[in-house]
């Protein structure tokens, strides 16, 4: 019998009969029965995969990073089997594992409701109990077309028609067969804990002109405990959902009739945004930036010159005025370069730091829009630093210091990533090399830890991305620092050096918070709407017990307003308990109660939004107590 030579990662190695399965090899080696799949010659394979050549075999256990994806993808097949058996006429499309779970998209004439999910779960449990093996088969593409056409799965046929390979693989468990690359668990019984979560609409292939499908989301874990933890996390995230809190706190709204992905700020939300923007203006001026403003539309020729037309056009909106084409700006860079070019620059003028709270438009598919965090129009705290090559290092460090101060001011932890050259990019190898090194060097000198994201840079240069961590430990992109040797070239930017010769400046693109919309979305969820006092749109509310206190309440409100506090008065003829509850729901930091006692003694009885009763105090005492906490943080 022909033999093959297999080496395991524990050092054991020997010959096996050709055609032995990965699972048999691992079992012969006393492998764990928890093993999910294996890596053979670097490729992920099912335990049932027959091995026909020599190679290294590594078991994949439940704790390995690939394992959850295999578990979840397998669970999506089980869900598809359950749905198909419960709802005759359903057509299956695709069902991948995603971060935190899986989904499967179905074409079905009726609408799935949340009430259907427990039924589907029950059917899935039955399938899991049956311990059905996931059986992989390789068949010719034509045979697969015939197979799926025969069972009426036209979406699979469409997918197959686009596949360029001679053979494809199918996976079957019980009576359910799917076109799939795999790998999968050895059997349905290997799913220890799963839950179906929600139903949503989704277009076939994400294309709004194609069939509307129904997507069922679920998740799976290797233990009940992990599943329970995740469900608790989802519950908490739901409570903090910024779309819901945005409505309850009356911060913003998004209207289908105005346009998807376009935010309308209500008074309290607009105030919150203004507070953040004022803080940003102050901090940029303190750090040697100059504030500028550019137009919303610029001629298409400029976007050709910048490279956006060739590399970013699908994300842009275009318009025409008097026969002239215009592009609505997706970035603020171009106007800033025109400011640079508006006069002759010498090395003594550099670095030049131009800052704009720049509103940009970027096309996002309607399916991915999400509250404030994925929108089509947003405002960036954007700046461009023009400097000499010698100044790049200190400028990057200056930006890193700025980011760290701001993250501390808002109370966020953060992580850094260095993103390198993507496939679609412009500029010479030397420039990319130089720019990437400059970014890396600055982080090293500041002793900052960072990860490398290969190929994730912008098309015009490498970048440092800073991701903040919120209260639920989720990562959000905020600051980026991008090094750009290319745009200065395209726009022929120059400065006169010490040698009286013309030189090319370096351009740094950077944002600190990134999209203000997105940042506010994150802020709302991080604080669950209970913003720090300096960011609270309303910092205190005066609550009267009876209308006998109205006049004094008016005086107190005026006094506090003049002291710089954002304060409102609630003089409605409602019970005090009701007013307090409402102010608590509005997450107002201080409630200042005024009854007959307070009127006669000339003060207030403050309560905090967490329910703490601070007892009677005079207005002066109250102002002294809140002190500087109503002001934005300051830095040395
Ligand atoms: Zn699959
Ligand atoms: Zn830029």
Q: Which ligand sits closest to the CA of 81?
A: 1
Read off the pLDDT of residues 196-220 as tens digits, 9 standing for 90 and up. Answer: 999 999 999 988 899 999 999 999 9
Could you give the CA distance from residue 63 to residue 57 in angstroms, rounded to a whole number? Answer: 17
**CA distance linking residue 368 with residue 199, whole number of Å:** 16
Contact, 351 vs 386, CB < 8 A?
A: yes
Give per-residue pLDDT as tens, 444-502: 999 999 999 999 998 788 999 999 999 998 999 999 999 887 889 999 999 999 999 99
Task: Encode burial over 403-415: b for 16+ CB neighbours within 10 A, e otherwise.
Answer: bbbbbebbebebe
Q: What are phi and psi of 210, to 5 degrees?
A: -100, -175
Q: Using CB atoms within 10 A of its CB, is residue 36 exposed (0-12), middle (13-18) or buried (19+)?
A: buried
Instruction: Output the CA 309–ligand 2 centroid distance in Å.
Output: 15
Does residue 584 carry a catalytic annotation? no
Catalytic, 137? Answer no
Q: Measured over all CA atoms, what is the biggest interatomic distance in the chain, rounded to whole angstroms?
A: 103
Residues constituting the chain:
636
Rounded Cα gap, residues 335 and 321, in angstroms: 19
Angle of helix 619-626 relative to helix 550-562, nearest 10 degrees, comes to: 40
DSSP type of residue 452? E
Provide the pLDDT confidence category of residue 234 given band limits of 50, 70 and 90: very high
Q: State whether residue 316 is helix, strand or coil.
A: coil
For residue 167, the CA-to-ligand 1 centroid distance in Å is 16
Q: What is the pLDDT of residue 389?
A: 87
* Active-site entry in 72, 123, 463, 467: 463
* Predicted pLDDT at 388: 92
**In this predicted structure, what is the pLDDT of residue 460?**
81
Of the candidates 380, 391, 482, 586, the residue annotated as catalytic is: 380
Write out the H or E segment, with its range, that includes residue 443: helix 429-445
Distance 75 CA to ligand 1 centre (A): 9
Please identify which residue in the block is written with the tokens 């090559």.
Answer: 389
The closest of 55, 1, 54, 46 to 21, measured between CA atoms, is 46
Q: Tell me, in angstroms, the distance from the centre of ligand 1 to residue 115's CA.
A: 26
The two beta strands, 290-291 and 352-361, are parallel
380 an active-site residue?
A: yes
The rounded radius of gyration (Å) of the Cα atoms in the chain is 30
One-letter-per-residue 3-state SS of 594-630: ECHHHHHHCEEEEEECCCCECCCEEHHHHHHHHHHHH
**Mean pLDDT value across residues 231-249:** 96
- Given a contact cutoff of 8 angstroms between Cβ atoms, the answer to whether 196 and 117 are in contact is yes
- What's the pTM? 0.82
Mean pLDDT of the chain: 94
In Å, what is the CA distance from 448 to each residue of 385, 408, 439, 472? 22, 15, 12, 23
Q: Determine which one of 46, 178, 382, 431 is catalytic.
A: 382
Of 249, 358, 351, which is closest to residue 294 (Cα–Cα)? 358
pLDDT level of residue 547 (50, 70, 90 thresholds): very high
Residues 44 and 181 sit within 8 Å (Cβ to Cβ) = no
How many alpha carbons fall within 13 Å on the CB side of residue 197?
A: 22
463 counts as catalytic: yes
Per-residue pLDDT at 636 exceeds 90:
no
Q: Report the separation in Å between the CA atom of 160 and the middle of ligand 1, taken as the mean of its atom positions.
A: 14
The CA distance from 66 to 64, in Å, is 6
Which positions ≥6 away from 132 have C-beta within 8 Å? Answer: 173, 174, 187, 188, 189
336 is known as an active-site residue: no
Distance (angstroms) between ligand 2 centre and the Cα of 429 equals: 21
Predicted pLDDT of residue 284: 97
pLDDT at 90: 95
What is the tens place of the pLDDT at every residue in 361-417? 999 988 889 999 999 999 999 999 999 988 999 999 999 999 999 999 999 999 999
Task: State the sign of the Cα–Cα–Cα–Cα dihedral 176, 181, 187, 192.
Answer: negative
| Sheet with 324-328: strands ordered across | 297-299, 324-328, 317-321
Mean pLDDT of 239-263: 95
Catalytic residue among 362, 376, 510, 609: 362
The owner of tokens 């944002």 is 511
> What residues pair up with 503 in beta bridges, in sequence order?
495
Environment of ion ligand 2 (residues, CB < 5 A)? 331, 333, 509
**Distance in Å, CA 77 to ligand 1 centroid:** 6
H or E, element range at 150: helix 141-150
């Amino acid at each position: 019998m022909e033999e093959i030579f297999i080496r395991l990662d524990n050092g054991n190695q020997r010959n096996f009969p050709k055609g032995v399965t990965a699972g048999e090899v691992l079992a012969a080696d006393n492998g764990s029965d928890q093993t999910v799949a294996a890596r053979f010659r670097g490729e992920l394979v099912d335990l049932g995969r027959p091995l026909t050549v020599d190679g290294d075999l590594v078991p994949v256990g439940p704790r390995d990073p690939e394992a959850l994806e295999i578990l979840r993808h397998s669970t999506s097949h089980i869900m598809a089997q359950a749905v198909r058996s419960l709802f005759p006429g359903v057509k299956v499309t695709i069902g991948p594992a995603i971060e935190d779970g899986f989904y499967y998209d179905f074409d079905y004439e009726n609408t799935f409701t949340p009430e259907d999910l427990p039924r589907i779960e029950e059917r899935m449990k039955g399938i899991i109990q049956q311990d059905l093996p996931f059986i992989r088969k390789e068949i010719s593409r034509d045979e697969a077309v015939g197979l799926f056409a025969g069972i009426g799965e036209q979406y699979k046929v469409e997918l197959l028609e686009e596949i360029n390979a001679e053979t494809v693989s199918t996976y079957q468990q019980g009576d359910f067969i799917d076109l799939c690359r795999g790998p999968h668990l050895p059997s349905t019984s290997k799913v220890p804990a799963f839950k179906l979560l929600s139903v949503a609409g989704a277009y076939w292939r994400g294309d709004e002109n194609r069939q509307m499908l129904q997507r069922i989301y679920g998740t799976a874990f290797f233990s009940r405990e992990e599943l329970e933890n995740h469900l608790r996390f989802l519950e908490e995230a739901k409570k903090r959902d910024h779309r819901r809190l945005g409505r309850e706190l009356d911060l913003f709204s998004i209207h289908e009739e105005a346009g998807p992905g376009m935010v309308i700020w209500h008074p309290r939300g607009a105030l919150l945004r203004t507070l953040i923007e004022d803080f940003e203006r102050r901090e940029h001026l303190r750090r040697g930036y100059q504030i500028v403003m550019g137009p919303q539309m610029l001629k298409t020729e400029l976007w050709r010159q910048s490279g956006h037309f060739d590399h970013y056009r699908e994300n842009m909106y275009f318009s025409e005025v008097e026969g002239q084409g215009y592009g609505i700006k997706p970035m603020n860079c171009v106007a800033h370069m025109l400011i640079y070019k508006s006069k002759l620059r010498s090395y003594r003028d550099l670095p030049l730091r131009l800052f704009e709270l720049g509103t940009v438009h970027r096309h996002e598919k309607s399916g991915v829009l999400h509250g404030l965090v994925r929108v089509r129009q947003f405002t960036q705290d954007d700046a461009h630093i023009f400097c000499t090559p010698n100044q790049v290092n200190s400028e990057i460090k200056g930006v890193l210091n700025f980011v760290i101060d701001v993250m501390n001011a808002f109370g966020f932890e953060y992580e850094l990533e260095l993103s390198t050259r993507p496939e679609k990019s412009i500029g010479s190898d030397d420039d990319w090399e130089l720019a990437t090194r400059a970014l890396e060097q600055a982080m090293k000198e500041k002793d900052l830890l960072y990860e490398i994201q290969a190929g994730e840079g912008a098309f015009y240069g490498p970048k440092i991305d800073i991701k903040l961590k919120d209260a639920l430990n989720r990562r959000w992109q905020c600051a980026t620092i991008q090094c750009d040797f290319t745009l200065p070239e395209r726009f022929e930017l120059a400065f006169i050096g010490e040698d009286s010769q013309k030189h090319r400046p370096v351009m740094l693109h950077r944002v600190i918070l990134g999209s203000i919309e997105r940042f506010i979305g994150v802020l709302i969820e991080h604080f669950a709407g209970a913003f720090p006092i300096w960011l609270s749109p309303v910092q205190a509310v005066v609550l009267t017990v009876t209308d006998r206190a109205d006049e004094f309440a008016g005086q107190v409100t005026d006094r506090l307003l003049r002291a710089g506090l954002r304060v409102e008065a609630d003089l409605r003829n409602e019970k005090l308990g009701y007013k307090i509850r409402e102010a608590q729901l509005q997450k107002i930091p201080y409630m200042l109660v005024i009854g007959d006692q307070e009127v006669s003694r000339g003060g207030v009885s403050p309560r905090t939004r967490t329910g703490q009763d601070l007892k009677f105090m005079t207005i002066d005492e109250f102002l002294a107590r809140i002190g500087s906490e109503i002001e934005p943080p300051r830095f040395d």
